[in-house]
Homo-oligomer: A and B are copies of this chain.
Amino acid sequence: MPDAMPVPRLFSFIGGSSGSWSVAGVTVLAGEPLVTPERVEVVAGNVTARRDGDAWVLRGITSNERYVIRNEKTQLVAVQQGLGRPDSTCAVMIPMRKNDAWWALTQDERRAIFEDQSHHVQIGLKYLPPIARRLHHCRDLSEREPFDFITWFEFAPEHESRFDDLLTELRRTDEWKFVDREVEVRLRR
């Protein structure tokens, strides 16, 4: 068996009546809605049982990057910042799913849409370091996950309009034509 205490990669996002983050608003961009909870808590590990008052529990695991190439990674690492900065009192949680057409593409086709056509990394870089981000993969946890990814963003309140610009830019891309479910949960600590 591996080490008793591995680095946490699997996180559960619990929408309910308690938690560190209060919900400022939920916007459904595509697909089925998600119940709006009062608060959200993020915990390490796989929370399978809902407590009384929980509206939903979503899960995702951090992993190796799927598309980023070395020179992009070098640029990202130079400027990105981690979660939990004291002034990052705003968070946005975006669970999303891509359609079957996306997943039927081969690696070169997905990469071409992701970066050559959509400039996903280059757009993201413009908003670093103020916007911190952690991507969680859900699609391969089981066949029944309601989303493929959960992205968690954190920033200080004065950067919220820049964050809105980031979303606007990304959602205009060819990559986003493959998104068939997307919900935006705005949070305040």
Contact = CB atoms under 8 A, between A and B. Distances in A.
Interface of A: 1-2, 6-10, 46, 61, 63-70, 72-73, 103-109, 111, 137, 139-146
A141 B140 contact: yes
Copies in the complex: 2
Query: How would you classify the secondary structure of chain A's contact residues: helix, strand, loop or mixed?
Result: loop
Contact of A1 (B1, B111, B146): B146
Contacts of A137: 140
A11 to B, nearest CB: 11
Given A73-B106, A107-B111, A8 B68 contact: no
B7 A64 contact: no
B70 A108 contact: yes
A108 B69 contact: yes
